[in-house]
Every structure is written in C-alpha cells, then in structure tokens.
Structure 1
Amino acid sequence: MTVRLRAHHLLCLLTYVGKGYSPAFTANYDAIAERLSRGEDILLVSGPDDVCAPLLDGPEPHCLNESVSERDRLAARDVEDLLALPIQPGVRLDLDAATLARMRRAFSAGGVRKACCGCEWNELCGAIAAGGFPDTRVQRSAVPR
C-alpha cells in the first residue's frame, strides 16, 4: 500500500508523538506512522490526504483552508531543496532511514521550518526536535523490518 501525504505532512511526521486534534485523528495518525515505519512509500497529493481524513467529516475542516495550501507550498520548496527531488503531487517517495535522519537534522537546524510559522503545533514540534526526537512514532531502521 501507499500513504497519501500532502507536502507539509512530510514535516509533521518528523515530530509526531501521538498528539492530535481528536482521538480519531490520533488513532488514524498512529496507523499511518506504523505503515511508514514498516516501509510503505509515500504518494504526494494536493489537498487533503490520509492524515486529514478524520477531519473532513467536521464542520469547516481547516485542511481545506488556503493557509494550509500555503504550508504545503512552503514545505514542498524546502524539502525539495533539501532532498534534491521534486516534491509535487504525483511523486512517490521512499522514506528510508537515511532520508528520515536527513530530514530530522534539517528540521532541528531550522532549515525546513518555513511552513511551520503560525502552526499551533510549532512549539511542541520544536521541543521534540530540540530533545532529539524522543518517542516519535515514525521510525525506520537502517535495515528493512
């Protein structure tokens, strides 16, 4: 299977520790984190993705807002520069251990955080990064599991 992600969720997955907007959101994200940790690939999409799914049934889901699309644009640019790969809808990515480590180093250094400005989770994510990413749910070992 493939995990469908919008660009800014490439950053969110770096610090995800099991906190979210609702119990349904967190349960869904836990399942996605497990799938990514097992090595499922990522298909980049435009707009709501697998992470957003539990929010779409609510009134006025924020994942449809223009500000979220702007986060996607900023994240895509930063991750594209970091990985020297196109980050756009339709592209597939393999989040191997080396790529995950590289993205986390850049996140810690502030190199891929433009999309995080104004996000309600920014402070939590910064603390997780500053602490060395303890208890993050997306983990990849150097060898396939």
Structure 2
Amino acid sequence: MTIRLRAHHLLCLLTFIGKGYTPAFTANYRRIVARLNAGEAAELVEGPDDICAPMLGEPGHHCRNASVRERDMQALADVAALLGRPLASGESFTLDPVRVAALRAAFAAGAIRTACQGCQWSGLCTDIAAGGFAGVRLCG
C-alpha cells in the first residue's frame, strides 16, 4: 500500500513525537509513522490525506479549509526548492534516512518552514527541532 500525504504533513512528520488533536488522531498518526519507518511509500495528494482521516467526521475541522490548502502549497514550494526540482500531486517517494536528515536540517534552519507560520503546533515543532529532534517517531 501507499500512504497518502498532503504536502504540509511532510513537515509535520519531521517533529511528530506522539501528540495530536485527539487520541484517535494520535493513534492513527503513530500507525502511519510505523509504516513509513518500515519503508512504505508515500504519495503526495491534494487535500485531506491518511493523517487527516480520523478528523474528517468532525464538523468544521480545518482539514478542508482553504488556509490548509495554502499551507500545503507553501510546504510543496519549500520542499521543491530544497530538492531543486518541482513536486506535484501523485508523486511517490520513501522517507529514507538521507531524505529525512536533509529535511530535518532544512527545517531546523528555518528554510522549509513557510507553511508553519500561524500553525498552532509551530512552537512545539520549533522546540523539538532546537532539541535535535529528540523523541521524534519518524526514523527515515
């Protein structure tokens, strides 16, 4: 199988330590990270993805909001610039150790954090990056 990921979740995965919106959301996120750690491929998608799935039944949840789509476009642009090539929906990839290390270095340096502006989790993610990504779940 392939894990469907929206672009800004590529950034969120870098600092995921097991916290989330609800217990169901967090449990699902842990399962997804375990699959990525096992080498399962991910596919870039537009809109809600496999991480969003537990929240989609909640009325008014932000997963479908225009502001989140904008966050995705910002993340996609930043990661594409880092990689030096365009990225698009439908593209598949694995989050191997080399790729994760490069993304984390750029994240810690602030080079791929445009999408993080205004996010309620940004402070936590900044602290995790400043702490050398201690306790994160994604190994790469």
Give the alignment of 1:57-72 within 5 angstroms: 57-72=57-72
1:14 and 2:14 correspond: yes
Instruction: Count residues with an aligned counterpart.
Output: 140
Letter in 2 for 1:31: R
**Unaligned residue ranges in structure 1 (runs of 5+):** 141-145
Offset of 1:137 from its aligned partner?
A: 0.6
Partner residue in 2 for 1:117 = 117
CA distance in 2, matches of 1:131, 1:117: 20
Structure 1 counterpart of 2:80 = 80
8 Å Cα contact 1:15-1:125 kept in structure 2: yes
1:5-62: CA deviation from partner (whole Å, max 9, x where unpaired): 0000000000000000000000000000100111111100000000000000101120
Q: What corresponds to 1:143 in structure 2?
A: none
* Distance across 2 between alignment mates of 1:121 and 1:31: 20
What is the Cα deviation at residue 94 of structure 1?
Answer: 1.7
State the shift of 1:84 in Å. Answer: 2.4
| TM-superposed deviation, 1:86 | 2.9
1:107 alignment partner AA: F
C-alpha distance in 1 between matches for 2:81 and 2:38:
26
Does residue 134 of structure 2 align to residue 100 of structure 1?
Answer: no
CA distance in 1, matches of 2:43, 2:66: 21
**Alpha-carbon distance between aligned partners in 2 of 1:2 and 1:138, rounded to the nearest angstrom:** 16
Give distance in 1, aligned partners of 2:71 and 2:128.
Answer: 20
Say what the alpha-carbon RMSD is for the aligned residues: 0.7
Taking the aligned partners of 1:12 and 1:84, their CA distance within structure 2 comes to 21
8 Å CA contact 1:37, 1:138 repeated in 2: yes
Q: Deviations over 1:92-113 (max 9, x none)?
A: 1121110000000000000000
The question of whether the paired residues in 2 share the 8 Å contact of 1:108 and 1:130 is answered with yes
C-alpha separation in 1, matches of 2:70 and 2:6:
11
Contact 1:41–1:94 under 8 Å retained in 2: yes
TM-score (norm 2): 0.98
Q: Structure 1 vs Structure 2: percent identity of aligned residues?
A: 56
